[in-house]
Amino acid sequence: LARGVQRTAVRQAHRKHEPNFHDQYGNLVLLGGAAVFAAVWGYVFTSAGIEWGLSPVGRVTPKEWRE
């Protein structure tokens, strides 16, 4: 069994490497996914009406003190 596995591994190692889908289109798919990700989140952040001023100064008003 080990000899057969070894022979198969050697045969596959010497086989000519033909480009598969990932070799041909991998970077294109990655860039396309990144573009869609950026577009969707850009739309969400711009249409959600988020206020980017993160400082609470001027917005937090103290409550009246009760004795």
pLDDT per residue rounded down to tens, the chain (67 residues): 777 777 776 766 666 778 898 899 999 999 999 999 999 999 988 887 666 666 666 666 667 777 6
Region of 45 (left: φ > 0; alpha: ψ -120 to 50; beta: rest) is alpha
pTM: 0.47
Q: Rounded to 5 degrees, what angle do the CA atoms 43, 48, 54 make? A: 110
Alpha helices (H) along the chain: 2-14, 21-47
Q: Which residue has the tokens 């206020």?
A: 51
Query: What does the block give as tokens for 60?
Result: 């937090």
